A and B are shown apart, each in its own frame.
Chain A
């Protein structure tokens, strides 16, 4: 069923009794052309673009829990393409362009809201770094504006501009950045993929990868063996665990990242603001809650919860940026498990096993990349060659020395 204003009206007049489920609950078939492990944003987007753009519809998405139960429902919903390096920037800009047309494309309201992303700077050196980043963005055709103190003050008068240690000098603004309702992204892609014939199989955990003569022939799951011609891994957070089933070791560590929501407030913060002097960023949801977070806790973890020390640290940084936050109460906090790669950039590539493909290492930037990640992974699966904007995200780049180290931290995953 196509959703439209007319369909809402007609179904409303009929007492809303005729809405069909947005996707089926199929039993697994014995064999698929492509099996995607992981029913998160990236896995579902991959299935959607495989079916829609590349005509491959005999596809299954296997999810161990329910779709959207992992990181696609645990992030802070921010989209942006303010990247510096040539290996990253065109890819994230492709993602931004796909976000801009996404709702029309998959006929689902994902609440894409280009409300702007502002990165504050607090020193001359940081201003120079953001000037360089803004120039790199504009050279790649991405919008970027450098704002000075007066312009930032006009936008966000409640920031602590005269903070004794970190006075705010200005910010780098990407107006096309913003937020998207994250659950709706998973649902929209699931519905779009399902309607084109993709089987989305929930509560189906992959427990092993069966190989014969050096090729993958299928996966062992909690619902029995399922054969496949190509196997695509998109299980961020657990990438190392799934890859280990095929005997691969990855340049990835799993770390926990926390996020928080405050009580609902009157409209307060228009866009997304990041603190340049500490680990804090914030936006306000349409329900009024402040959605904020900081950096990863800094230790390897598979527990989807973090530590109070980090909660305290994030709250302190938040209050340093916006003193008015001191009396805001936090409603909820939660944690997600990040694939922290060794250079802070993702992997979309083939593996040493011929028909096994890997989409992993998104660090804490996976959500904004969802459309382009799905599109580029589908391109790789269908055509056998990387999509041109994702050509740098190779698995062997670490061995060859072609790292994409956006933050310049080296092989220290808890610092990316």
Chain B
């Protein structure tokens, strides 16, 4: 794992400050079919390579982030604010 994580709010910070939640998936609507919920809750791409995860900067800005990471080399390609990204995607 990369030792320093480029937090968009705090700059490069040691990874011990962060808590990893898991795959950055888009949540289905509350009234979506059970099959969509099953897919969201249980099934995973589990890629060998590029992967997006939700991380929480627990000991820093306390914002939820989306970290793009490689699951083989552990290199971090990008890191952005999760809420900011959700808003910009909603505008599209």
- A residues near B, CB below 8 A? 238, 240-241, 249-254, 297-303, 307, 309, 342, 398-399, 411-414
Contacts and interface: CB of A to CB of B under 8 A. Distances in A.
Interface string B22-58: 1100000000000000100111111010010100000
A303 B73 contact: yes
Which of A299, A342, A413, A414 is packed against the most chain B CB atoms within 10 Å?
A299
A136 to B, nearest CB: 26
B13 interface: no
B72 A251 contact: no
Contacts, number: 62
A316 to B, nearest CB: 13
B43 A299 contact: no
Given A253-B22, A302-B72, A309 B43 contact: no
Contacts of A252: 44, 46
B38 A299 contact: no
Contacts of B44: 240, 249-253
A300 B46 contact: yes
A303 B72 contact: yes
Given A301-B74, A302-B72, A303-B73, A309 B16 contact: yes
B20 interface: yes
B72 to A, nearest CB: 5
A399 B41 CA distance: 10
Nearest to A304: B72
B77 interface: no
B1 A253 contact: no
B58 to A, nearest CB: 13
Task: List 10 A-B pairs, minimum CB-CB distance, nearest first.
Answer: A240-B46, A251-B42, A398-B42, A249-B43, A299-B20, A302-B48, A302-B72, A342-B42, A411-B41, A302-B71
A297 B15 CA distance: 13
